[in-house]
Amino acid sequence: MDQADIKNILEQVKSGGCTVDEALLKLKMEPFRDLGFAKVDGHRGLRQGAAEVIYGAGKTPEQIRDIAASMRRDGEQAVLITRMSPEAAGVVGEALPLEYHEMGRVGIVGRMPEPTGKGNIVVATGGTSDMPVAEEAALTAQVLGNRVVRLYDVGVAGLHRTLAHLEDLMSARVIVAIAGMEGALASVIGGLADCPVIAVPTSVGYGASFGGLSALLSMLNSCASGVSVVNIDNGFGAGYLASMINHI
């Protein structure tokens, strides 16, 4: 249940379509649903503006299926599942209307909402190898109601590729810059754009990149103003934060 659902219930009470006691019962039933192995937070959308997201890693396919089914019964139109394996997608897809995106390991149960964000979110990657993290970010933002522009393989090893997309970068409301190796893309984009830049270091790179640590430290030490950094490979966190900014 999100803010729109709560407003709808209150409007029904106002118009006489629902009694106060009936409305109270609907609200009392919403805080969470206890499935035994999980307590599904039905009030997340009301508190934070976005429904609970299912983190698929470490959960069995059956657990993911049951949590998603519970959320659908409670009225969620689009349930986002991150870090979802193909095996889990097979199980969930047999029971629910699932759209699975293998590149980003993202599952979406239900339908994509219409965009409600104020502008465009640009998701840019340094290389093709960063695309799995980028797709997690892009799909997260789309499920949360945003228009997303994907700019892939525009890294600083060929700076002309970045500069070829100046119009997209300069007209964006938020930019998610995703890169491994030395992570320089975030600083370059941060020096070109007038909007917030969310930097995502990835674990792409050779031995001295230390699984993304070198990119993380580079992004944390960016000389460009307006660059913030999320954790290594955390495309979901970047997409979620970008959505929050785009809805302000």
Cα distances (angstroms) measured from residue 113 to each of 42, 77, 92, 161, 212: 19, 8, 20, 32, 33
Q: What is the pLDDT of residue 98?
A: 94
Query: What's the confidence (pLDDT) of residue 164?
Result: 87
Cβ neighbours around 92 below 10 Å, total: 27
Within 10 Å of residue 245's Cβ, how many Cβ atoms? 18
Predicted pLDDT at 210: 95
Query: Cα–Cα distance between 146 and 127 in angstroms, integer?
Result: 23
Q: Are strands 120-125 and 174-179 parallel, antiparallel or unpaired?
A: parallel
Please give the structure tokens belonging to residue 11.
């409007």
φ/ψ of residue 134, rounded to 5: -65, -40
Instruction: Confirm if 186 and 227 have CB atoms less than 8 A apart.
Output: yes
**What are the structure tokens assigned to 113, written together?**
């909402």
Please tell me the predicted confidence (pLDDT) of residue 41: 65
Which residues neighbour 22 within 8 Å (Cβ) at sequence distance 6 or greater?
none
List the domain boundaries for the chain: 30-110, 120-246
As averages over each run of 10 residues, the pLDDT of the chain (248 residues) reads 70 86 68 63 65 88 92 84 96 94 94 92 96 98 96 91 91 96 94 95 94 96 93 97 96
Q: Please answer whether residues 179 and 215 qualify as being in contact, where contact means their C-beta atoms are separated by less than 8 angstroms.
A: yes
Calculate the alpha carbon distances from 63 to 157, 184, 232 in Å.
43, 39, 26
Which pTM value belongs to this model?
Answer: 0.83
Buried-exposed string 29-62: b where 16+ CB fall within 10 A, e elsewhere: ebeebeeeebebbbbbbbeeebbbbbebeebebe
Inter-residue contact 99 to 108 (CB < 8 Å): yes
What is the fold of 30-110? Ribosomal Protein S8; Chain: A, domain 1 (3.30.1370)
- CATH code given to domain 120-246: 3.40.50.1970
Name the token pair of 229: 């950094």
Q: How far apart are CA 219 and CA 61, in angstroms?
A: 35
